[in-house]
Amino acid sequence: MKSWNRSTFTLWLLTIFTALPGCDSPDRPLTLTLTGSSTIAPLASEIGKRFERQHPEVRIDVQTGGSSRGIADAQNGLADIGMVSRGLRPEENNLYGFTLARDGIAVITHKDNPVQQLTDQQIIAIYTGQVTNWKEVGGQDAPITVVNKAEGRSTLALFLQHFSLKSQDIAADVIIGDNEQGIKTVAGNPDAIGYVSIGTAEFDAQQSIPIKLLPLGSVPATIENVRKGSFPLSRPLNLVTGTPPEGWVKEFISFAQSAQVHDLIKEQYFVPLEK
């Protein structure tokens, strides 16, 4: 019995060592590391899996940490590719950016809320605390619960930028982290208003979670309008590199931009770009 145990152990050890990545070809490190936006990460990891199947000699390692980390890691060379879910700023022009897809931000309310539309001015008034009751914007007599995103998130940055607001101006009742937390908060509160990634919102609304996507500037908040570029509150999803992409990095980026991954992009409720 004892010898059997020992041989099983050796077998396990062998299996583990041969399964370790990189051991089969020690001459070249073949792991591509992507870090950054948590919005892009699930998509990148799906694209990575498909890429690995076509090129078994390459491994794709995806880590989140936010767009700012994507920028920093690409600049410092800590990652091969950074993921950034916003447009690049002028001071970031030392990076090379490649747009994968687009994403929109939808303003959401509870499904039972009778308010069908809000103007940009009304949204600004609500978020700055000038309007605190739904009856002031055509709804029922109920106090508005303003749901805002936490500091540092690119969704917050995009929202602030679109409405020319400052983080200090916002009078929030609830501050949330990720999109799902925002949707759960609004779904549980008929008087809440929030904003989340349009892909997540449209998916959850179809799953009969009681939320409603409000049109913005009278453009309905749909994936279709983001694709057409007519939805005002949308953003590009970018892959960035610190140096001009070469070799496998270049291969991966052009693969991620090709029509071969459009189905994956749609599955994540993002909007693929037509070349």
Partner 1 sequence: MSLWRNDKLLAWCLRGCASIAGLIILLIIVFLALEAIPALQQVGASKFFFDRGWHPSPLASEGHFNLAPMLVGTLMATGGAILLATPLGIGAALFCHYYAPPFLARLYRRLIELLAGIPSVIYGLWGLVVLVPLIRQLEPPGPSLLAGILILALMILPTIALLADAALAGLPREYTQGAAALGFSRFSLIWHVALPAAKSGLLTGILLGTMRALGETMAVLMVCGNVVQVPGNIFDPIRTLTANIALEMAYAMGDHRSALFVSGLLLMALVMALIATVEILKPKSSP
In the complex, the residues that contact partner 1 under the rule CB under 8 A are 38, 64-66, 68-69, 72, 142-143, 145, 150-154, 156-157, 160, 166-168, 172-177, 181, 184-185, 188-189, 191-192
Nearest distance from residue 68's CB to partner 1, in Å?
5
Give 100 or 192: the residue with its C-beta nearer to partner 1: 192
- CB 82 within 8 Å of CB 53: no
Instruction: Give one DSSP letter per residue of 221-255, joined into a string.
Output: --HHHHHHT--SSEEEEEEEESS---HHHHHHHHH
Give 175 or 219: the residue with its C-beta nearer to partner 1: 175
Nearest distance from residue 27's CB to partner 1, in Å?
36
Nearest distance from residue 48's CB to partner 1, in Å?
20
- Helix (H), strand (E) at residue 43: helix 41-54
Nearest distance from residue 93's CB to partner 1, in Å?
18
Nearest distance from residue 26's CB to partner 1, in Å?
34
Give 33 or 68: the residue with its C-beta nearer to partner 1: 68
Give 126 or 265: the residue with its C-beta nearer to partner 1: 126
Q: What are phi and psi of 202, to 5 degrees?
A: -65, -40
Give the angle subtended at the CA of 161 by the CAs of 189 and 216, to the nearest 5°: 55
In this structure, which amino acid lies at residue 121? Answer: Q
Give 87 or 177: the residue with its C-beta nearer to partner 1: 177
Give 145 or 222: the residue with its C-beta nearer to partner 1: 145
Spatial separation of the C-alpha atoms in residues 42 and 154, rounded to whole Å: 16
**137-153 b/e (C-beta count within 10 Å ≥ 16 → b):** bebeeeebbbbbbeeeb
Angle between helices 41-54 and 247-257 (to 10 degrees): 110
Nearest distance from residue 16's CB to partner 1, in Å?
28
